[in-house]
Amino acid sequence: MEFIPSFGVITAFTLAAAILIVTPGPDMTLFLSRALMQGRAAGLAAMIGASSGIVVHTMLAAFGLSALLAASPKAFFVVKVAGALYLLFLAFQAIRHGSALTLETRTGPRQSLWRSWAAGLGINLLNPKIVLFFVTFLPQFVSVSDPHAGGKLAFLGFYFIALAIPSCGAMILAAAEFSAALKRSPMISRVVDYLCATIFGAFAIRLLMTRTS
């Protein structure tokens, strides 16, 4: 079971992932809007599609970064440092601009569940920010000298999906109440923004203060 990270790594990753999952983004906007406009089944289909896109990014990141690590540990470390700088940028963006969650609630022509799934897949699969995020975020939890880095990267990617599905599913089942709560209390979104910025900044600073091993 060498591909399973240590308990400390899993704990830190779980904390970071939990904040990320509840941070509004394009995929959350899509599946909550579908749930409000088309019903819960359409929202769940869109969420599963978005998760399918993350599966693809996870495997590409795991295999691609593993190949980079095998070819050049120093290059892998450069990617980690670049990722730390990107996380600092995301922390700044979260505080300055906040999370955008604009939900559509008008009822339109009903679409098939397949089309809802495809929309979810496309919004994550074709989003360059998702690609950049997974390439820079996952390596923060893997050591340059770890011979099982590839397996651990894949494990963490799928673990992220396992955490996201029940959480996002609950949001979809209570889409009307969830969206109403955000509208009534914008402070909730700002609290999430600051939590997200804190997590991003902490991981970035920790990485920048460590040396390659």
The HSE-up count of residue 113 (CA atoms within 13 Å, CB side) is 8
Q: What is the predicted pLDDT for the residue at 185? A: 67
- The residue whose two tokens read 């505080």 is 95
Model confidence at 107, pLDDT cuts 50, 70, 90, reads low
DSSP, res 112: -
When pLDDT is averaged across residues 80-102 and rounded to a whole number, the result is 69
- Rounded-to-integer distance, Cα 104 and Cα 182, Å: 14
Is pLDDT at 114 greater than 70 in this prediction? yes
Which 3 state secondary structure label does DSSP give 70?
Answer: helix
Give the pTM.
Answer: 0.71
> What are the φ/ψ torsions at residue 106 (nearest 5 degrees)?
-75, 145
Which 3 state secondary structure label does DSSP give 148?
Answer: coil
Q: What is the predicted pLDDT for the residue at 175? A: 79
- For the ranges 30-39, 111-120, 161-170, which has the lowest average pLDDT? 30-39
Q: What is the predicted pLDDT for the residue at 186? A: 65
Angle at 138 between CA 204 and CA 179, to 5 degrees: 85
Q: Which of 162, 120, 99, 125 is nearest to 34 (CA)?
A: 120
Contact present, 183 and 81 (Cβ < 8 Å) = no
The HSE-up count of residue 15 (CA atoms within 13 Å, CB side) is 13
Q: Which residue has the higher pLDDT, 185 or 120?
A: 120
For residues 47-67, b (16+ Cβ closer than 10 Å) or e, as one string? bbbbbbbbebbbeebbeebbe
When pLDDT is averaged across residues 54-75 and rounded to a whole number, the result is 74
Question: Residue 51 region, left (φ>0) first, then alpha (ψ -120 to 50), else beta?
Answer: alpha
Is pLDDT at 12 greater than 80 in this prediction? yes
DSSP, res 24: -
- Rounded-to-integer distance, Cα 169 and Cα 137, Å: 23
Is pLDDT at 58 greater than 50 in this prediction? yes
Per cent of the chain over pLDDT 90 is: 8
- Rounded-to-integer distance, Cα 14 and Cα 94, Å: 20
CB atoms within 10 A of CB 71: 10
**Which range among 17-26, 129-138, 154-163 has the greatest average pLDDT?**
154-163
